[in-house]
Amino acid sequence: MSGTAEAAPLISVENLEKAYLGRLSIADRLTGRTHTVVQAVNGVSFDIKRGEILGLIGESGCGKSTLGRSILRLQEPTAGRVTFDGQDVTALSPSEMKAMRRRMQIIFQDPYASLNPRRTVAEIVGLPLQLHGLAKTASEARDLVAEIVAKVGLKTAHMDRYPHQFSGGQRQRIGIARALVSHPEFIVCDEPVSALDVSIQAQIIQLLMDLRREMGLTYLFISHDISVIGYLSDRVAVMYLGEIVELGTVDAVLSNPRHPYTQSLMSAVPEVDNPGQRQRVRLTGDLPSPLSPPSGCKFHPRCPLATDVCRTSVPKPESVGANHTAACHRLAENLSLLETEPA
Ligand code: SF4
């Protein structure tokens, strides 16, 4: 974890929302419903400083990827605002947004699905140069591609090969080269190591850390793996059913998690000093559907600390320390699900 962040935010997300029409079930049709709405992202706000890595953690289906894509307008937000380097991204015209994309990129989870199998590495990585007019000649484009291909640890001699001729880790390196060839400032890393073998994950994480330092990048790093998030992030945002329930520095959130959901995530991570002593908090039930989210605190049907007020009233984020907020009605009681068993 590094603390290279400067004061001014590069990205500001304010009350961002993304809703879309859901599929009607048979029961919906029988009751005469004409449509259903999935509120995938609900009133999310945070800043990311230049040079910072904000880790975004949460279960699969909680809205993390939709949030990342809405920030880049790969999916249009329904409401709220995203400001990048002082510019309101949400107000840009399609042509202005196209130009802005040079500065804001994404690395996808699945390197198999995100690369066109009929294109060579040189063509895949060179496409952003073409789209943004960043090379005057074909030979200049090839030189720029070769430079970034080498930077991500691939052999330039393999630039005319096709994706299927590479391993999973190498394919993710191609995806990273494609994201970085236009020299962006901000990258959404959307579960970039989840589809890879564990032995390869550490190499790709190290590569992303090195590139961040060398190229002065800022990341929103999305993962369901709290160990990965803890290793590389400066700050962490914990997401549950479309909302940020806890936000703060890695040290604050992971050493002193205040939201019961964060505590349940942390309970699955073995303590270095006290291995095997921490009790695993087992949540009952699955993540509820965003089609019919629970009332009040959305975590209440699974929360061991829920009381009546939790079922009716939505908790607002409150400060629980320096640069640390959490949204829970019972913060003042300083309760913890992370009690350890006596040795
Ligand atoms: Fe649990 Fe209530 Fe806090 Fe929600 S508000 S996390 S239900 S204690």
CA atoms of 151 and 207, how far apart (whole Å): 9
The pLDDT value recorded for residue 4 is 47
183 CB burial (10 A radius; 0-12, 13-18, 19+): middle
| 119 Cα–ligand 1 center, Å | 50
Domain hosting residue 202, numbered range: 9-103+184-333
Q: So what's the pLDDT on residue 52? A: 97
| Per-residue pLDDT at 321 | 95
Angle formed at CA 232 by CA 62 and CA 212, multiple of 5 degrees:
110
Residue 177 lies in a domain: no
Q: What is the pLDDT of residue 289?
A: 83
Gap from CA of 281 to ligand 1 centroid (Å): 15
Residue 135 lies in a domain: no
Kindly list the protein residues whose Cβ atom lies closer than 6 A to any atom of ligand 1.
259-260, 297, 299-300, 303, 305-306, 310, 315, 328-330
Is residue 163 included in any domain, yes or no?
A: no
Helices (H) and strands (E) in the chain, counts: 11, 12
Answer for the pair 19, 4: CB distance below 8 angstroms, yes or no: no
Residue written as token pair 């800043």: 47
Residue 3: the pLDDT is: 46
Taking the centre of ligand 1 as the mean of its atom positions, its distance from the CA of residue 310, in whole angstroms, is 6
Q: What is the pLDDT of residues 167-176, one digit of tens each?
A: 999 999 999 9
Tell me which residue has its CA closest to atom 7 in ligand 1.
Answer: 300
Q: Which residue has the tokens 């850390």?
A: 209
**Domain presence at residue 324:** yes
Say how many Å lie between the CA of residue 241 and the centre of ligand 1.
14
What number does the ligand 1 atom closest to the CA of 245 have? 6
Q: Could you tell which of 243, 244, 297, 334 is best to mutate to test the pocket of ligand 1, judged by most ligand atoms within 8 Å of the CB? A: 297
Would you say residue 167 lies in a domain? no
Summarize the confidence of residues 231-243 as an average pLDDT. Answer: 97
The CATH number linked to 86 is: 3.40.50.300
Tell me how far apart the alpha carbons of residues 162 and 174 are, in angstroms, rounded to a whole number.
Answer: 10
Residue 153: inside a domain, yes or no? no
| Gap from CA of 226 to ligand 1 centroid (Å) | 21
Q: Which of 328, 333, 336, 337 to mutate to test the pocket of ligand 1 (most atoms within 8 A of CB)?
A: 328
The predicted structure's pLDDT at residue 166: 96
pLDDT digits (tens, 9 = 90+) for 249-260: 999 999 999 999
- For residues 86 and 8, what is the distance between their CA atoms, to the nearest angstrom? 10
Which stretch of 16-30, 44-58, 271-285 has the lowest confidence by average pLDDT? 271-285
Q: Is the pLDDT assigned to residue 126 strictly greater than 70? A: yes
Asked, for residue 125, whether it belongs to a domain, the answer is no
Tell me the per-residue pLDDT of 42-100, one tens digit each, with 9 for 90 and over.
Answer: 999 999 999 999 999 999 989 999 999 999 999 999 999 999 999 999 999 999 999 99
Look over the chain and give the mean of its residue pLDDT values, rounded to a whole number: 91
If one counts the domains in the chain, the total is 1
Task: Lowest mean pLDDT of 98-107, 217-226, 271-280, 318-327, name the range.
Answer: 271-280
**Is 128 among the domain residues?**
no
Q: Which of 243, 262, 303, 337 to mutate to test the pocket of ligand 1 (most atoms within 8 A of CB)?
A: 303
Tokens of 57: 């953690």
CA of 337 to the centre of ligand 1 (A): 12
Q: Residues 6 or more apart from 273 whose CB is under 8 A from it?
A: none
Backbone angles phi, psi at 244, to 5 degrees: -85, 120
DSSP assignments along 68-102, one per residue? HHHHTTSS--SEEEEEETTEEGGG--HHHHHHHTT
Which residue's C-alpha comes closest to atom 5 of ligand 1? 328
pLDDT digit string (tens) for 148-157? 999 999 999 9
Q: How confident is the model over 234-250, as a mean pLDDT?
A: 97
Q: Spell out the alpha helix ranges (H) of the chain.
A: 26-30, 64-71, 94-100, 121-131, 138-151, 168-180, 198-215, 226-232, 250-255, 260-266, 308-312
Instruction: Give the residue, out of 309, 310, 311, 336, with the most ligand 1 atoms within 8 A of its beta carbon, to mutate for a pocket test.
Output: 310
pTM of the model: 0.91
Amino acid at residue number 45: S
For residue 88, report the distance from its CA to the centre of ligand 1, in Å: 34
Q: Whose CA is nearest to atom 3 of ligand 1?
A: 328
